[in-house]
Every structure is written in C-alpha cells, then in structure tokens.
C-alpha cells in the first residue's frame, strides 16, 4: 500500500505525511473510503456508529487511562510522543502488513526502539529457558504458583516504592501465563492493570512484545469487536521453563 487512508473520528491531526493521509469525518455524511479509523481515546461517539464503519481501529491514547470499551477493540495504539513515521508503522501493524523499521530520530522514537530491542532480548532469553527446561527433570507448576508469585510482587510495593522495581514485561508475562493455565481470556485493558504501571507505559510494552512475537492478539469469537491478548507458544514455553526451575529450587526436599 503506497498510501494509507485514515478516517479521523475526531482530534486535530495533520492533513498529510509520508505514507498516510488523514480524511475528515462528518457523522451526518456518508464516510469516505478509508483503510483504517483513528479514534481519540476520549471520544464520545456511539459504539454503534463506529461499528458501522467496519474499519480496523487505531486508538489515539493520551496520558489519561483510556476507556476499556475502546482499548479492548483496537487493533493498535498511537501513544504520546508518536510522530508521523510511527503513525505509518502502527498503520502497517493494524493492517497486518508486518513490522517495518521506524526512521524517526526523536527521543520518543529512540525510547520505542530501545523497548523493541529489550523485547527481542526477552524473546531470546525465554527461548533459552525453554530449551534448558526440556533437558531438566520437570517440576510441577500450575496457575496457583504463578498467582502466588504475582501477589508477592505486589506485596513488595508495600515496602518499597513501586517504581523502584517496576518490571511491566515480566508482570504481563506472568499474568498471561497464569491465564493460559486457567484457560481464561485476557483483554488488553486487564493486561494493562496487571502491568502495574501507567497505561501508556503498559501499551508501549504490549506493542513491543507483540512485535517481538511474544504476545499474540486473538479476536473474541463471541464478539468480533473485542480482542484478547495471549502468550505465543514460544513465550509460554519460556515462562514455564523458568517456573519449573523456580519450583525445583523451592520445592520441599
């Protein structure tokens, strides 16, 4: 696609940029042909109106926590500090066109690139953990163990400033591992809560870990307007490998 046509459902957006074009939206007029819809997180538009557009939805998030009704149905997110090049990048992701490099050199983009590199290192570490676990005697693990670990991590916040040990990637990996063992679906809004960091920080990690192949998005079969986030098989095998090693060390002898 040489140009991505984005239907802006509110907000003040530039009229042009490399590889994308913003189209105005008037609820009283038939919508123009578009590839994606861009929705401000604080939009008051009725959900039924957005449904009728039948377009992949990008949510423009501010520093304020977005409503779950929009967060859980979005294909991707624009976050504070994202510029025109990142918009094009997010559009490609929302359209399923794969991951392409981002050419921006702003501080925000450098931070995003750093997160992506950390996500790739996490993916490599999880793959190594999974390989080691296959060669060791397995220790029993279950969701109860994972939930206990999560509670211990939250109890730590009672004694130390939460930001001192903030590790949203690991918190989300643990939460999704427990949910998979429990056969429970996790919407994006719930995963952001599990990260125990501001929503924009959590979404940056969700975006980076998804691009690294650790998180996978799945449409709710009962409601196509909503999606769930889960662990890829590779990510689950890595987390399970670490959990087996943890359980092996601390099990009674």
| pLDDT per position as a tens digit, 46-92 | 999 999 999 999 999 988 889 999 999 999 998 888 877 777 778 88
Q: Which domain holds residue 244?
A: 107-250
Asked whether residue 99 is domain-assigned, the answer is: no
70 in any annotated domain: yes
Q: 18: domain CATH number?
A: 3.40.50
In a domain, 73, yes or no: yes
In a domain, 224, yes or no: yes
Provide the 10 A C-beta neighbour count for residue 201. Answer: 16
Of 88, 242, 118, the C-alpha closest to 174 is 242
Q: Where are the alpha helices (DSSP H) in the chain?
A: 47-53, 68-71, 84-94, 107-134, 143-156, 168-182, 188-195, 199-211, 233-250
Report pLDDT for 188. Answer: 94
Assess whether 133 and 240 both reside in one domain.
yes
Distance CA 137, CA 157 (A): 34
As for how many domains the chain has, the answer is 2
Within 10 angstroms of residue 26's Cβ, the number of other Cβ atoms is 8
Q: What is the CATH number of the domain that holds 216?
A: 1.10.10.10
183 and 74, same structural domain? no
Residues 37 and 65 in one domain: yes
For residue range 119-155, list pLDDT tens digits in order: 777 877 777 776 666 656 667 889 999 999 999 888 8
* C-alpha distances in Å from residue 244, one per residue of 55, 130, 215: 43, 10, 21
Q: Are residues 89 and 122 in the same domain?
A: no
Query: In this structure, is residue 101 part of a structural domain?
Result: no
Q: Under a CB-based contact definition with an 8 Å cutoff, are residues 196 and 163 in contact? A: no
pTM: 0.79
Q: Are residues 160 and 185 in the same domain?
A: yes
66 and 161 belong to one structural domain:
no
Domain assignment present for 102: no
């Amino acid at each position: 696609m040489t140009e991505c046509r984005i239907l802006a459902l509110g907000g003040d957006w530039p009229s042009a940029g490399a590889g994308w074009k913003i189209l105005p939206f008037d609820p009283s007029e038939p919508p123009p042909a578009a590839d994606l819809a861009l929705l401000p997180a604080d939009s008051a538009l009725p959900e039924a109106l957005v449904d009728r557009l039948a377009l992949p939805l990008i949510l423009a998030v501010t520093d304020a926590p977005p409503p779950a009704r929009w967060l859980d149905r979005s294909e991707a997110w624009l976050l504070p500090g994202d510029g025109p090049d990142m918009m094009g990048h997010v559009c490609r992701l929302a359209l399923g066109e794969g991951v392409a490099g981002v050419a921006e050199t702003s501080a925000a983009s450098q931070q995003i690139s750093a997160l992506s590199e950390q996500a790739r290192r996490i993916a490599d570490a999880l793959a190594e953990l999974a390989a080691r676990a296959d060669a060791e005697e397995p220790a029993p693990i279950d969701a109860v163990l994972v939930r206990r670990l999560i509670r211990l991590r939250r109890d730590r916040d009672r004694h130390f400033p939460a930001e001192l040990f903030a590790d949203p990637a690991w918190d989300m990996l643990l939460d999704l591992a427990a949910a998979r063992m429990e056969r429970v679906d996790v919407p994006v809004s719930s995963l952001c809560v599990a990260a125990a960091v501001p929503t924009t920080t959590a979404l940056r990690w969700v975006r980076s870990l998804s691009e690294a192949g650790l998180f996978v998005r799945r449409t709710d079969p009962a409601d196509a307007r909503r999606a769930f986030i889960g662990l890829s098989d590779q990510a689950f095998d890595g987390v399970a490998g670490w959990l087996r090693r943890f359980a092996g060390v601390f099990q009674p002898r």
